[in-house]
Amino acid sequence: MADVMSSEKRSAVMSNIRGKDTRPEIEVRRALWHNGFRYRLHAKELPGRPDIVLPRWKASIFVHGCFWHRHEGCSLFQLPATRPEFWDAKLSANNARGNRAVRALADAGWRVLVVWECALKLDTSSTTRRVIAWVRSQDRCSELLRVGARVRRNSMTLTSKGPIPHYRGVLHTAEVSFVGIVGPVRAPA
């Protein structure tokens, strides 16, 4: 299938796609800030340059776009019909790079949360409440994603090849309750 845009127009469209300060990322940052959390953005000294870093909590957060990070099984991800070999290689490399970053951060002692765009689109307030609950918890490596009509938090198991989410049938997934997450922000002891 041929592209319907000229190469100049396609180049202009693609150059306007943001890598930082995306709407989903800003929604998560806003919720953290309003709940008293202070953070750094895109810390260059950390592997993968996490979108949000909470040094006081030794926590890092990646906000992944479902298309760009190849969120398999998500309605927001579909491999383009135009140049599928190129897109398959590019999106697979993005996914592998993200997995390496999560693994490197965890190996360095950081807690890691991956927030998927689909979870924020489904229910922003529920997802941001779950982000806050995760920061206050001691969970090491988790992700927030859309499963059906719900937002779910899943733990991830780290392997030598990268993180394996529990929802893919590897381990059992449990729903997360958010009773009592309101209150002052306290760093872990």
Q: Is residue 4 part of a domain?
A: no
Whether 13 is in a domain gets the answer no
For 139-156, write each residue's pLDDT tens digit: 888 888 888 778 888 887
Q: What is the pLDDT of residue 35?
A: 94
Residue 149: the pLDDT is 79
* Domain contains 183: no
pLDDT bucket at 172, cuts 50 / 70 / 90: very low
Number of domains composing the chain? 1
Residue 121 backbone phi and psi in degrees, to 5: -70, -35
pLDDT, tens digit (0-9, with 9 covering 90-100), for 42-100 = 999 999 999 999 999 999 999 998 888 888 888 888 888 888 899 899 998 988 898 89
In a domain, 96, yes or no: yes
State yes or no: pLDDT of 18 exceeds 50.
Answer: yes
182 is a domain residue? no
Q: Higher pLDDT residue, 185 or 143?
A: 143
pTM, two decimal places? 0.77
> Is residue 103 situated within a structural domain?
yes
Cα–Cα dist 187/37, whole Å: 10
Centroid of chain to Cα 179: 23
> What CATH number should be reported for the domain holding residue 95?
3.40.960.10
Could you tell me if residue 110 is inside a domain? Answer: yes
Range of the domain at 88: 19-168
- Beta carbons within 8 Å of 132's beta carbon, 6+ residues apart: 31, 32, 35, 37, 181
Domain annotation covers residue 5: no
Ramachandran category for residue 42: left, alpha or beta (phi over 0 → left; psi -120 to 50 → alpha): left
